[in-house]
Amino acid sequence: MLLRHKPELTSADVTPKSIYLQRRTLLRGMGLAGAAALAGTSLLDLLAPARAAAATTKLSGVIPGAFRTGEPPTPYNDVTHYNNFYEFGLDKTDPAKNAQNFRTSPWLLSVEGEVRKPRKFSLDELLKLAPLEERIYRHRCVEAWSIVVPWIGYSLQALAKLVEPTPQARFVAFQSFYDPAQMPQAKYTGLEFPYVEGLRLDEALHPLALLCFGMYGETLPNQDGAPVRLVLPWKYGFKSIKSIVKIRFTSSQPPTSWNLAKPSEYGFYSNVNPAVDHPRWSQAKERRLGEFFKRATRPFNGYAEQVASLYSGMDLRKNF
């Protein structure tokens, strides 16, 4: 028998947790013969259930955006199978499994409050408001992991201009879709739903604040916030609210879900700040999905040059 010595493994050889869990699930449901057959399948075969769970369609007419990073995008399978979307479960692998049948059509987004022209937009209307841009953003989550994603959308300011905020508008409140029948896992999370978030008006109107409809050239998978979400690359990921159904311009600071649930741990601003630890872990370092070693966390997630002026004079330790 010819024996071959395997080379030592590197971090690049580590199987992503999502793939491992899918394979383990398949093996549990099969007999020995099936398991033996599975051992000879390709990685693409192993990923077939994952790809089916993230069914999407290609977005046409997308142009390169002005905001891009030189870092390589995180593998698509990692971004679509390691998610925080508590409406579909607590574990990072739950949303990809539990959001498969989430109905995102028809969809209406209501824009109201302190605006001169309140309006409800269909998804088709939203997609035609402004040119769709591909922007490659770094995205940092509060649990000290990060991703690089080619998001597709346009600046939220394009929508704001259409509804014309009044002089009384100082903040913008956002609300996610919630349906207990489609999201039965939500009741076990300890959060109150629907999920809500908020920004100061100047934050919402910053060019980096993206109203997002897709990623990797396609529409958003359900587990990543279909059909429309927010992407705020200088803030922790939970601020980038998913599956938005309501945007309300207000004169006072709106409540936010995580601040309501744990105010000592999650502030209203939630800017990426390596100098401010979460009460239960450090934020000084992060691990990019698909990588083994940690890297230093950058202030404002590396977007300080673009957004630091928004917080001039503020104590960012107090206003975390």
Interval 268-297: pLDDT, tens: 999 999 999 999 999 999 999 999 999 999
Name the H helices within 54-106: 76-81, 94-98
Q: Give the model's pLDDT for residue 30.
A: 38
Q: What is the reported pLDDT for 40?
A: 37
| Torsion 265-270-272-274 (CA) sign | negative
CA angle 219, 224, 225 (to 5 degrees): 80
Q: How confident is the model at residue 89 (pLDDT cuts 50, 70, 90)?
A: very high
pLDDT of residue 122: 98
Give the C-alpha separation, 270 to 197, whole Å: 11
**Tokens 């509060």 map to which residue?**
142
Read off the pLDDT band of 185 (50, 70, 90): very high
Tell me what percent of the residues of the chain surpass a pLDDT of 90: 82
Give the pLDDT of residue 43: 35
167 burial via Cβ count (<10 Å: 0-12, 13-18, 19+): exposed
| pLDDT at site 3 | 35
pLDDT > 80? residue 17: no
> Does residue 101 register a pLDDT over 50?
yes
Q: Which helix (H) or strand (E) holds 139?
A: strand 133-140
Confidence category of residue 55, pLDDT binned at 50, 70, 90: confident
The domain limits of the chain are 54-311
Q: What is the mean pLDDT of residues 200-215?
A: 98
Q: What is the DSSP letter of 296?
A: E
Q: Residue 235 gets which letter from DSSP?
A: B
Average pLDDT over residues 122-148: 97
Measured CA distances, 206 to 161, 180, 270, 309 (Å): 12, 34, 16, 11
Mean pLDDT across 179-184: 98
- What pLDDT does residue 47 have? 42
Which of the listed ranges 25-34, 50-59, 305-314 does the model predict with the highest average pLDDT? 305-314
The pLDDT, as a whole number, for residue 54 is: 46
Instruction: Give the whole-angstrom CA distance, residue 7 versus residue 82.
Output: 28
CATH architecture type of domain 54-311: Alpha-Beta Complex (3.90)
pLDDT of res. 284: 97
